[in-house]
A and B are shown apart, each in its own frame.
Chain A
Amino acid sequence: MAVRVLVADDTAFMRMTLRNVLERNGYEVVAEAANGAEAVELYRRYRPDLVTMDITMPEMDGITAIREIMKFDPQARIIVCSALGQKTMVIEALTAGAKDYLVKPFQPERVLEALEKLQAHRAG
């Protein structure tokens, strides 16, 4: 059974890029969120195995979305995605409950490694 992922990013282009990388490597993208509020809602509905969460999004930003999700699912496995120069926010996201981080522009190997390690964590 494929690992189920929720992709949250405000740019359609980014979501598409991630979806391609994931689907080509056997992951199932169960939903895409364009903002933090959607991300929380879709997480509730689909209960994915993993989440990639962009930091800067409208409606509700990534960090707040992480906090909201952690409230009802403390076991959530979220990888925060940031741009270069957002170190403080990445740390904030990790403190809020994200388990790992990725820096844009994405390198496919890194994305896959992060997801693998996170999924392995769940098993162990």
Chain B
Amino acid sequence: MSSEERSLFVSESQEYLEILNSGLLQLEQGTDPELVAELFRAAHSLKGMAATLGEQAVVGLTHAMEEFFSRIRDTGESLAPEDLDVLLAACDGLEGWLAAVEKGDASAVAQAQESLKTLEANVRAGFQKLLGRHQAPAAGAGAAPESRQESAERLPMELNLYDHELLEEAARRGLTVTDLFVRLQPGCRMKSVRVFLIFRSLEQVGEIIKSQPPAQDLDEERFEDSFRLLVVSAESPDALAERVRGIAEVAEVVAQAVSAPEAAASRADREVKAASEDEAEAPQDLPKSTEGHALPKEPASLRESFLNERFLRVDVNRLDQLVNLVGELVIQRNRLLSVAEETLINSDVVEGIDRIATDLQTGVMALRMVPLRYIFQRFPRMVRDLSRSLGRKVELVLEGEDTELDRSLVHTLADPLIHLIRNAIDHGIEPPEERVRKGKNPTGRVSISARQEGNRVVIEVEDDGAGVDVAKIRRKLVERGLLSAEEVEKLSDRQALQWIFRPGFSTAQQVTDVSGRGVGMDVVRAAVEGAGGSLQITSEPDQGTKIRLELPLTLAIIQAMLVEVAGETLALPMDVISEVLRVGDADIRPLGAGRVLNWRGHILPVIDSAERLCLRAPQEELDPDGLALVLERGGRSVCCLVDEVVGHQEVVIKPVSKLVPTLSEVSGATVLGSGRVAVILNPEPWLEG
């Protein structure tokens, strides 16, 4: 397989696996024939794809899964939790195999194949148990689903009211209606293209008015190897059959005329059907038997579905290239604006370019946005597995899954969110008996809600569990020698809670495999802050805990205020600046080794930017003409001193090479309108204190 084939194979398989995963979870709530049919098709498609690659282990497993689905599709039985466990385990096995395929790691793939064989045995055993439970005669393994599907196609087509009208119209015009059964050769590739060729050939001499399965299914290759068509034509059934036999990869063609008298004979049934049929369907204009026929709507729509695609698969690298180029354009646009100011270029042109660059930027940034649904969709399964293994009852509520975030942020967020959820279930939600004792509902609630607030996205993970034991935190702080007893005394509850995010700080009795494994809260914080976001925790004993994440909406381009510090130009994100004060007019006093600002009743630590960024030695006296910026975000504030404000502009963030050792305050660099390079400041470390 070429790597292009491989990545397409992998991404398509992942979609099917996703359908299986979420569908199985939904099945727990109750059986639904459409859902089961969808699950069957997903397993079937996976089987087909694996078959073309000769992946026998996958074919075996997916086939066993198909049997499960086709059984409950036909009987309407529901699955027991053990059945779901077995099927979900099969999905996990397939995911593992797929991951190995993606990496191209031959030994990992071989290993995965072995485990798939075991899973297949489990699924088959589970199927036998299902049969035993419902005491129905066991269907012949393997043969049943095929013959069931095949038999559907082998039966003459079911015709509805609408079809009968068409048949009568055809008879009136002296045209023949043919019921055409077509079976493709096994191993036919791109079956839907083969169908396309067959359709095209038939449409040269007639109209296809109905297909079984429906056109959509044919297009998406949701059929084994046979299908049935109803064709209206001046040609005889034999002539049509010859046409189709002249096409490659066709194994069998059976054509029979559907005669008008037959259609008329079921007129009696029609009276009965009329009640349930949709009578809004108007009879179509059939083609005349001479040339120059207008294409009626239905057959055309059969063909259009092949060429109609709403979504496109785009190579991520190409997208990133585009985003990069637009970023460069924005930089050049800024320079142009600079130059235009100085030399008074024709402002119409400059304005025009300015506008277009802005629109282009907005459009391209939107391409990078991805709904949170992509990570949210893994959670129900995870919560189910976790609660079962920990003996908790948990209800998961997801809100705002349509909220969009920059693609790379969604990627970064996945693990931290998973860790927070694990924490909530493991350490937050109490076992059902304990909850009842506390007078709570035995089923705990974990909610994840996302929404956009201004130019940031807020995600909250909340549980109604035991809350964080703040007293325990205070004890640990003293025990570990991180703070003295008096310092700990002075900490507010909120401040004490924030210590959870410090590295190496875990108050869990044991670092359980479920939520431990070196993924501490500090890693979560690092991930979130590294993305330019912030993290906060609030908690009430016995009531629950809430963790609030805030993230920037877009990554690559921000509104920045340009400031000068010790001769260097720096860029500060605009949204974090609350106020700009003249140092001479501000109430700044010394406190201990540093300084504080008294601002609207708040005491804020004062940071000398030049000193902190190692650009200048600490100063005894502050320049009264210097500026004090009040920075605020997520309820935390700090004051930083700069020499001057130079301006504000849209700034494209270019990452600084990892080889260059940087300060934690630096989140990137950019090129200014003047052509000079400026460093972008990340205020998070200062806000955290």
Contacts and interface: CB of A to CB of B under 8 A. Distances in A.
Interface of A: 82-85, 87-88, 90-91, 94, 100-101, 103, 107, 110, 113-114, 117-118, 120-121, 124
Contact of B189 (A94, A100, A103, A121): A103
17 contacts: A82-B190, A83-B5, A84-B5, A84-B8, A84-B9, A84-B52, A85-B5, A85-B8, A85-B9, A88-B309, A90-B190, A91-B307, A100-B197, A117-B247, A117-B248, A118-B248, A120-B246
Nearest to A118: B248
Nearest to B306: A91
B492 to A, nearest CB: 59
Interface of B: 2, 4-5, 8-9, 52, 187, 189-190, 192-193, 196-197, 200, 246-249, 306-307, 309
Nearest to A88: B309
A98 to B, nearest CB: 10
Contacts of A101: 190, 193, 197
B4 A94 contact: no
Nearest to A107: B187
Contacts of B187: 107
A11 to B, nearest CB: 12
Most chain B CB inside 10 Å of its own CB: which residue of A82, A90, A91, A114: A91
A110 B200 CA distance: 21
Contacts of A83: 2, 4-5
A114 B196 CA distance: 16
Given A84-B52, A117-B246, A117-B248, A91 B193 contact: yes
A82 B193 CA distance: 12
Given A90-B190, A91-B306, A124-B246, 15 more contacts: A83-B2, A84-B8, A84-B9, A84-B52, A85-B4, A85-B8, A87-B192, A90-B193, A91-B193, A91-B307, A100-B248, A101-B190, A113-B248, A117-B247, A117-B248
Q: Tell me the dominant secondary structure on chain A's binding face.
A: helix
Contacts of B307: 91
A82 B187 CA distance: 16
Contacts of B306: 91
B517 to A, nearest CB: 37
Contacts of B309: 88
Contacts of A87: 190, 192-193
A88 B193 CA distance: 9
Contacts of B200: 94
A117 B248 CA distance: 6
Contacts of A113: 248-249
A93 to B, nearest CB: 10
A34 B260 CA distance: 55
B37 to A, nearest CB: 24
A124 B239 CA distance: 13
Contacts of B9: 84-85
A84 to B, nearest CB: 5
Nearest to B221: A87
A117 B196 CA distance: 17
Contacts of B196: 91, 94
A114 B193 CA distance: 14
B5 to A, nearest CB: 5
Nearest to B192: A87
Contacts of B247: 100, 117
A110 B188 CA distance: 9
A82 B194 CA distance: 13
Contacts of A118: 248
Contact of B193 (A94, A120, A124): A94
Contacts of A90: 190, 193
A110 B190 contact: no
Given A100-B248, A114-B248, A84 B197 contact: no
B192 A110 contact: no
A90 B195 CA distance: 13
Nearest to A79: B248
Most chain B CB inside 10 Å of its own CB: which residue of A84, A94, A101, A121: A84
A100 B194 CA distance: 9
Contacts of B193: 87, 90-91, 94, 101
Given A83-B5, A103-B190, A110 B246 contact: no
A94 B247 CA distance: 13
Contacts of A121: 246
A110 B248 contact: yes
A42 to B, nearest CB: 24
Given A84-B52, A101-B193, A110 B249 contact: yes
Contacts of B246: 117, 120-121, 124
A14 B249 CA distance: 22
A124 B243 CA distance: 11
B9 to A, nearest CB: 8
Most chain B CB inside 10 Å of its own CB: which residue of A82, A85, A110, A118: A85
A87 B5 CA distance: 12
Contacts of B2: 83
Contacts of B248: 100, 110, 113-114, 117-118
